[in-house]
Structures are given as C-alpha cells and as structure tokens.
Structure 1
Amino acid sequence: MAIGKCKGNSTPRLCGLTTMTLAIAVTSVCLLMAAPAAFAQAVAAQSPGHGEAHFWTLGEAFTFLFVTLGPLNVIGPFAAMTEGYGAASRRRIALKAFLIAIIAAVLAATAGAATLHAWGISVGALLLAAGVMLFLIALRPVLAGYNPRQSQAQTSAPVSVSTASEFQLALAPIAFPTLITPYGLALLVLLFTLQPLGSGGFWILATAAFVLVLDLAVMLAVGGIAKIPFSKPALDILGCVMNVLLVALGLQAVADGVGLLASQNF
C-alpha cells in the first residue's frame, strides 16, 4: 500500500490500515534496537577454533523458518477456517493475521533472546536444543502417516468459526497457532539468540518477515491455489524435501552442540 493512496478517493479504512502498517514498522525498528547485541561477544568467547561458533547460513535459516512458519502449514487450515466468508472478508482476515504475526515474531525474538542471554545459556546448549527441535519437527509429518485413519480424519476436520468476528478469527486460530506455530516461534528465538543484530540477527528477522509475507500471499490467493491441477501433491513433495533437509541440519546442529559442550568441559 502506498502512502499516497490515503489521498483523493481512498476510503478511511484503507488510510487506517496504511497508518497502522507504518506504526508497526516504526515499533518493530524500536524493538530491534533493544535486542541483546552484546550476546555476539559471548558467542565468540565460548566457541573454539577461529573464535566463531557455527552459524547457519541465511539459506539454512530460511529452510528452518519456511518449514515451521511457512505457507505449507497455512493453505489448508486457512481455507477451512474461512469457509463461508466472502472474498473481501478473507482479505481483511489475512491482513490482520499477518500484522499480528509480524508483531508477535519481533516481540518473541527480542524478548526471548534477551531472556536466554540473561540466564547465561551457553552457545553449545542452544545449538543442541535447536538441533533436537529441528529433528523432532522433521519427524512430525513422517510419524503422522502412521496414525490411525480415524484419528487423521478427526484432526483434519475443520473447526467451526462462523460465529467469530474477523479480528477474533485473525488472532486465533489463524495468527496463533497457524501462522506463528509454537515450535516455529521457539526456533526463531533460538536463531536470533545465536545470531543477534550485531552478527546477522537482522537478516534472521528479515527472513522470518519474508516467510510471513509468503504466508500472506497464499492466504490472499488460497482460492486460486486450490484450483491449480496437482497443487496438493506438488506441495506435499516440497514438504518432504524440506523435511529431509531439516533432519540433516538438525543432526548437524546436535553434533556441533555436543562438540562445543565437550570442548568447554575438557
């Protein structure tokens, strides 16, 4: 939305959304400046060898966040939860859920990283925790295939939300826990703690924001996506590939964490 749209023949609601977006951007910048940048020195002090801990690349971080916060988790639930709503209502719900999710991600990353830093959690322990979490997340869809068919049908049944207001629906269950999943939020906190603003944390948050933008895009286009031939099998295959990467990266993080903890104890 351009600021210029608030002039001329635009509606007050559009101007209000534009103002809200600008306010959220300013608030996010202020919160980012409060992040624990001093943790970068603790990372270098605790790590062996060349004075740097193992940091995941931006592509690896994108893979983590895409699987845990990304559109593969959003398309089906959003379509089911907004069934019966008009196209305009769906767009408003999607935008509200996106804005709520952005605020939650920034707040959780900064506050969570500050808390972990204050508690003195070692880098090795953080890597180990992140690796275990990645491994378990990657196993979830594999283990789900062994659930009884009756349980799968019960868990996939759409929730009746026709009586909820647009804001209530956007807040829960769309923003939480569909867009911002508990394990995705925990992983974001770990990533930002390992790489605060002084050592790449800004790009971690930017990557999380980009993934949420992808979520917004699929929510706005969910009706068209459902009409694409073979879209569901293609998304399932993509999810399988991402989960294989998560297993490998999770095990590597566990090995790095164990090695770092062992080097500190001996």
Structure 2
Amino acid sequence: MPISQIFTYFMVMLGPIKILAPFVKISRGMDTLSARMLAVKGFFFASLAGVAAATLGKNTLANWGVGLPSLLIAAGLVLLLVALKSVLAQYEQPPAAPPGDSPQPSAKMFALSPLAFPIIITPYGIAAFILIDAAVPPEQNIEIYKVFLEVMVLNLVAMLFARPIIKYFSTVLIILGAVLGVLQVALAVQMILLAFRMLGVLP
C-alpha cells in the first residue's frame, strides 16, 4: 500500500479537521497557556495510546484468529455510523448549553478523555491503524508508525492554533467538515465492499 494512501486514510480518520471545534469547546474558559498544555497532553496521550493499541491489536488479531476482512467490516461500520451522524447533525437543532455551575473534570482528565479518546484517537481510526499495520509487509511497519506520528504532530499544531483558526476560518471549516463527512461515508462503504471482495462475496 502506498505511503501517500496511508497518509490520506490517517488524515481522514485521525486528522486535525475533526479536532478543531471539539478542542475549542473543551478548552473554553481556559487561558492560552492552559489550552496549549491541554493540547500537548492530549497529543502525548493520543500518540502513546495509538501506537500501543495498534501493536496490541495486531497481536490480538493473530491470537484470536480474527481475519482482516472482519476488522475491515467492523471499522467500516463504525466509520459509517459516525460519518452519518456527523452529516445528519447539520440538520439538527444545537443542544442546549449545560448549566454554568456544573462540575468540570480536571485538565488531565480532559486531555485523556474526551480529547485523546475519542476525539483524536477514534475507534475507526484505531481499527484502520491495526488493519494497515497487519496488512503491510513487516519491513514497512516503521513507515506506518512514522506516518501516524506525523499526523499526530499535525493534530498538535492544529490544537495549538485552534482558536485563531476557528475565529478566522470558521466558514471554510464548516465546508471542509461537510465534505469530510460525505467522504467518510464513501470511505466506510468502500471498506465494507473491499472486505466482501476479500471474502469472495462480491466479484
């Protein structure tokens, strides 16, 4: 599998576009330094957990006897559900804001969840990471991890500058988000069809 294609998959499933708005929402009320510390912590949690999950997941696949088509279908279904929810959410009324005096978790907990999981490290993104890592030749594994870390660095940069990006490019991000949602639906369907072809269900 070409590295450029793997980079594209990681950008769609783990990349920064989907992170910007949630990060700004999570860091609302924080000063700039606190928000940047949250971004750095989220980056480290997500990077370490992503590498660990991919390594553990690949070994678990072999131990459990789970085939790549099964993981491909699982990842495709999760991505399809999340992408459909994202697309359909554009037609829903925004939820009411929670009370201002509600208790807030610590910054460390924010960095771990929901920032690292599931905003940065999405379930379908991890499934795709495991799938790619298990499918490529052993000599290409290091390149896969490098691409993953490159995308995590892009996520960190996006979070560090999330507030000005949202402030000045909100309209562009709305358009990109809508396009990304549709592309994710198409990619999810493609993953499921590919799994069916691998199983011989489709020609």
Is TM more than 0.5 here? yes
Letter in 2 for 1:170: A
Q: Shift of the alpha carbon at 1:88?
A: 1.6
Equivalent residue for 1:195?
136
Equivalent residue for 2:167?
227
Q: How many pairs align? A: 201
Mark the CA change 1:160 to 1:218 in structure 2 (over 3 Å): closer, same or farther: farther
Residue 158 of structure 2 corresponds to residue 218 of structure 1? yes
Equivalent residue for 1:175?
116
Larger Rg: 1
- State the distance in 2 between where 1:199 and 1:124 align: 22
- State the distance in 1 between where 2:128 and 2:143 align: 15
Equivalent residue for 1:135?
80
Q: Shift of the alpha carbon at 1:69?
A: 2.1
Deviations 1:133-191 (A, max 9, x none): 443343232222344x1xx324x769988854432332223222222223322332233
Q: RCO higher in 1 or 2 (8 Å CA, sep ≥ 6)? A: 2
Q: Shift of the alpha carbon at 1:217?
A: 0.7
- State the distance in 2 between where 1:82 and 1:200 align: 37
Equivalent residue for 2:31?
86
Deviations 1:54-103 (A, max 9, x none): x5x43333333223322222212222222222222222221111111111
The 5 Å alignment of 1:1-266 reads 55=1, 57-147=2-92, 149=93, 152-154=94-96, 163-195=104-136, 198=138, 200-228=140-168, 231-262=169-200
Mark the CA change 1:255 to 1:163 in structure 2 (over 3 Å): closer, same or farther: closer
Mark the CA change 1:105 to 1:83 in structure 2 (over 3 Å): closer, same or farther: same
Letter in 2 for 1:120: G
Letter in 1 for 2:95: A
Q: Shift of the alpha carbon at 1:118?
A: 1.4
Mark the CA change 1:162 to 1:174 in structure 2 (over 3 Å): closer, same or farther: farther
Q: Shift of the alpha carbon at 1:213?
A: 1.2
* Contact 2:61–2:67 (8 Å) recurs in 1: no
Q: Could you say what secondary structure the match of 1:72 adopts? A: coil
**Can you give the 5+ residue segments of structure 2 that lack an aligned partner in the other structure?**
none
Deviations 1:39-65 (A, max 9, x none): xxxxxxxxxxxxxxxx5x433333332
* Contact 1:109–1:188 (8 Å) recurs in 2: yes
Mark the CA change 1:141 to 1:251 in structure 2 (over 3 Å): closer, same or farther: same
Mark the CA change 1:239 to 1:159 in structure 2 (over 3 Å): closer, same or farther: farther
* Contact 2:76–2:124 (8 Å) recurs in 1: no
**Can you give the 5+ residue segments of structure 1 that lack an aligned partner in the other structure?**
1-54
Letter in 2 for 1:258: F
Percent identity between matched residues is 37
Q: Could you say what secondary structure the match of 1:78 adopts? A: helix
